[in-house]
Structure 1
Amino acid sequence: MANPLMHDSVWRSKQKYEDAEAHYQQLLAGTAKPVSAKDKKSGKSVGSSIKTEIAEARQQIQKVLNSGGSGGTSGDNSQVMRRVESLEKENTDLKKVVEDMKSLVQRLENRVTKLEGGSSAPSAQAPASNKPAPAPAEDEEDDDDIDLFGSDEDDEEADRIRQERLAAYAAKKAKKPALIAKSSLVLDVKPWDDETDMAKMDEEVRKITADGLLWGQSKLVPIGYGIRKLQIGCVIEDDKISTDFLEEEITAIEDLVQSMDVAAFNKI
């Protein structure tokens, strides 16, 4: 004999069972008290029937689950089917678009290969893949006329052009004047005492000549007790003249010069 409950797929008392389940959980949590008042219409105790209602609700839920959720309407099923059909159609359209794009890319690759004269340089740089090679755009007879690896004549021509460019660059660089590093100095030349002839000292210092040395203006600066020092400027080429050279030459004037110091040194 068939169970009559198997055909009952609609839960008509769901709200009542949910309220009872909620009140039961509140009792377990201690946030509600048992209901002892009697229903005015039925006259039955509401608090005493909570556990029974909860048990019935759980049985009803289990029954619906066991029945495979067949309580849905046919309208929901038809809506799902329409949605599935729409998704399948969109998938088919997308596949068609992808195939069209692949075909377009293939035609472009064939056209580029044809315009480049069948050069193998792009294919050598491209990473290896399982993608099939594009079909040749011309007959095999035309492919025989294409030199994929170049020739010795092309290499010789490229070497000649490179050598000519290097020679032109070297000639241009040779014509360009080299930058000469120079420095501007201010020298303090001190005498022995206040009786030293400072004009003669200036004259003797300027007699020092060398390639890369150019004397400038000079003046006498008091240093105390009536003694003055000679402050003279000069410009030197760093590769030819050094401060040690100037000191040796100036202090060699022993009758007039006691010492020499570099007061200022600036690169030009």
Structure 2
Amino acid sequence: MMCSVTAESVWLQQPRYEAAEADFQCYLNKSRTPTTQDNTSCSALVTDIQQIRQQIQTAMNNTGEEKAGAQTVGLEQRVSLLEKENRELKKAVEELKKMTSALNLQLKSGTKANVEVDKNSNNIVTKMDVEETKDAESSEEDDDDVNLFGSDEEEDEAKVREREERIKAYQLKKSKKPALIAKSSVTLDVKPWDDETDMKKMEECVRTIQMDGLLWGASKLAPLAYGIKKLIILCVVEDEKVSVDDLQEKICEFEDYVQSVDIAAFNKI
């Protein structure tokens, strides 16, 4: 087939080749034109990027200035607040100084103290401590002028006697003051052996117990079980003189009548 083509003297495919060449030239022209456009678009893009960079730099500079201004304003506010607090603290310190000086003046002038004690509906007001303090102060003032090498006879004997009399009177008054006695109210349950126990006799035996600081009170019989009754008796004891355990043991010594003794109630008076 190739031999037949080369042997031909007529170029039958020329239009095709020309059309192909024309297409190729058009293709070349088209590829050159976009290249120019691409260069133009690239230069425009570079310009836009430079403008954006410039805008960013300007914005950053403005932000830094604004931050610096805001920090300056914040520092000024803090300084003013600290100055205000400093003035208030100085004012408070001045007031405390005034109060302290006033208290010192009161202490130096000698305030009178009254000790009021309310016991057993009796109000006892004592001023001996204040008077003794005054006497001590007066004695200290007198000691400033005393010659240490002088005799003891130079002391004012009248003041000494008066002070001693006051002390004795105070001690006597204090000794006559009634002392509080701790007492307790105790309710005892005395249980018999059976229903045939003489409860009246048992109560008489219990009341025969006499102790210093023991006072018997009211009593009654209460049902226990199966017709058996127990003795409920009230007594008042002084805590320092009477032991409830000893009292229970003494009651249990009446073995013919008493089976056991229990504490039903115990109240401080």
Normalised by the length of structure 2, the TM-score is 0.43
Structure 1 or 2, whichever has the larger Rg, is: 2
The structure that is helix-richer by fraction is 2
Normalised by the length of structure 1, the TM-score is 0.43
